[in-house]
Structure 1
Amino acid sequence: MGFFLKGLGWCARRPGWWLFGLIPALIAFVLYVVALIWLATNAGDIAAWVTPFADDWGWKGLFRTLIGILIFVVGLGLSIITFTAVTLAIGEPFYEKLSEKVEEDFGAVPGDDLPFWRSLFRSIRDSLMTLVYVLMFTIPLFVLGFVPVIGQTIVPVLGALVSGFFLTVELTALAMERRGLHRKDRFAILRNNKGSALGFGVAIFLTFLIPFAAVIAMPGAVAGATLMVRVRLTPSTLVP
């Protein structure tokens, strides 16, 4: 969590870079607001479509209202996870520069001289693979959400942990790729540092639940992830 706060502090001391990092986050935010408004408006119809077995139930209205709320909550959770990936894809050159500036402030910048288009392609490919992993966890959690008690207590906690871990995966990608670490290597490092990965990611996940916070905090999250990779996650042989 401390690295997230340090990242926010770094941006607070450099408002120019913070505003620079807001541009792609604002673009992604507008896209997601439109999508979530559509989901909220149509959640009832979607709930009716996925629960045809409840047509003859006397309390189908209440049941489908609860399902509609759950669908929206799951959509909100997915939007928080994918917001980072989409924002990083949109703002690849923005956040690459911001991350490099953080590195410069703390010493030499490791170099990975991949052309921009190859770096962007790899970033999109890795984000899609991460999304597949997220869905592998999210779909079972969505089903467990229907189980009384467990769905209202344990499932939200597990959802926050899963979301937090994969947010860290996305946010640390820039700094790790700069050190020549590919997706499998990055996952292995984060699995071996679960405490750091979860502490950082869950703090950001909870922050992103606050309206507009995802936009405001995104540059700080990128800066914090860069600091965490540099100080704690990167093997010593790769630290400049």
Structure 2
Amino acid sequence: MTLKSMPVKKSGVNYFFEGLQLIKQPGLRVFVVIPLLVNFVLFGSAMYFAFGKLGELFEWMNAQLPEYLAWLDFFLWPLAVSSLLVVMSFVFSSVMNWIAAPFNGLLAEKVENHLTGKSLNSGNTVDLIKDLPRIMKREWTKFKYYLPRAIGFLVLFLLPGVGQTIAPILWFLFTSWMMAIQYCDYPFDNHKVPFDDMKRALSNTKGTSYSFGASVTLFSMIPILNLFVMPIAICGATAMWVDRYREVYKHPEIARD
């Protein structure tokens, strides 16, 4: 049986919300909490610094404005704060994929163990540290795949007509595809499935991949809430791996058909 011939059991949306249920499991909570704590500490520190600089900027601006324009402060502050939250949330959700990569792989491993009852026997903490260069290399591979395509799609926004019509749709589809790649890669990588083989597998199940990635994308667009998306997406992607790909990749020659 190949990936294309396997019956679709769930949609990608179902897998995303299954991830929401999985992060609540007692045996998995500790592996969810650790990267979240790192995320909040770094995000909180950055926001504290950014708000300090924002306050200095508004003090300087108020000193330059005449008194009859002082009312602008009441309108500009909420706009600046909301913009800062959106930008910082987006940046940190990207940066955290690098910082939390080892934890993400471990979370995917524990979720698979929870779902199948079988351990991957990936080793102890020392083995995880030794594996860091390979994990970072995998993240770099994803980044190299993403960057030139992202630049190409963003150029479309500058084209008259296309930028206002087709480009936003194409960008959303591309982002959804990249979200599927980003989070499904953790369980695939735990089994040492090559990056190109992982892409081929997701491409062979486009409907599931895109609907899962679209769910992640939509929730990632919500400030603050998007800080919780990462562990949910990893759990959901691992459930998708177990349900859709795990049995096939016991026989790599079939998976590549």
Q: Tell me the TM-score normalised to structure 1 length.
A: 0.69
The one-letter amino acid of 1:166's match is: M
Distance 2:89 2:223 in 1: 13
**Structure 1 residue corresponding to 2:224, chosen from 212, 217, 224:** 212
Conserved? CA contact 2:20–2:236, under 8 Å: yes
Alignment root-mean-square deviation, CA: 3.3
Which residue is equivalent to 1:11?
23
The one-letter amino acid of 1:129's match is: T
Which residue is equivalent to 1:27?
38
Conserved? CA contact 2:16–2:233, under 8 Å: yes
Provide the secondary structure at the position in 2 that maps to 1:222.
Answer: helix
Choose 217-226 or 179-188, whichever is displaced more. Answer: 179-188
**Equivalence map 1:83-162=2 (5 Å):** 83=95, 85-89=97-101, 92=102, 94-109=103-118, 111=120, 113=122, 115-162=127-174
Q: CA deviation at 1:181?
A: 0.9
Provide the secondary structure at the position in 2 that maps to 1:132.
Answer: helix
**Distance of aligned partners of 1:157 and 1:111 in 2 relative to their CA distance in 1, 3 Å threshold:** same
The one-letter amino acid of 1:199's match is: S
**Structure 1 residue corresponding to 2:215, chosen from 193, 203, 214:** 203
Residue-pair matches, total: 203
- Percent same amino acid at aligned positions? 26
Q: CA deviation at 1:229?
A: 0.5
Which residue is equivalent to 1:64?
none
**Distance of aligned partners of 1:215 and 1:105 in 2 relative to their CA distance in 1, 3 Å threshold:** same
**Distance of aligned partners of 1:32 and 1:160 in 2 relative to their CA distance in 1, 3 Å threshold:** farther
Choose 124-133 or 99-108, whichever is displaced more. Answer: 99-108
Distance 1:101 1:169 in 2: 20
Q: CA deviation at 1:2?
A: 0.8
Choose 1-10 or 123-132, whichever is displaced more. Answer: 123-132
Provide the secondary structure at the position in 2 that maps to 1:134.
Answer: helix
Matching of residue 230 in structure 1 with residue 239 in structure 2 = no
Q: CA deviation at 1:193?
A: 1.8
**Distance of aligned partners of 1:136 and 1:172 in 2 relative to their CA distance in 1, 3 Å threshold:** same
Q: Tell me the TM-score normalised to structure 2 length.
A: 0.65
Larger CA Rg, structure 1 vs 2: 2
Which residue is equivalent to 1:193?
205
Conserved? CA contact 2:184–2:237, under 8 Å: yes
Unaligned runs of 5+ in 2: 1-12, 55-83, 252-257
The one-letter amino acid of 1:99's match is: A
Distance 2:118 2:232 in 1: 19
**Distance of aligned partners of 1:205 and 1:22 in 2 relative to their CA distance in 1, 3 Å threshold:** farther
Choose 119-128 or 220-229, whichever is displaced more. Answer: 119-128
Q: CA deviation at 1:227?
A: 0.3
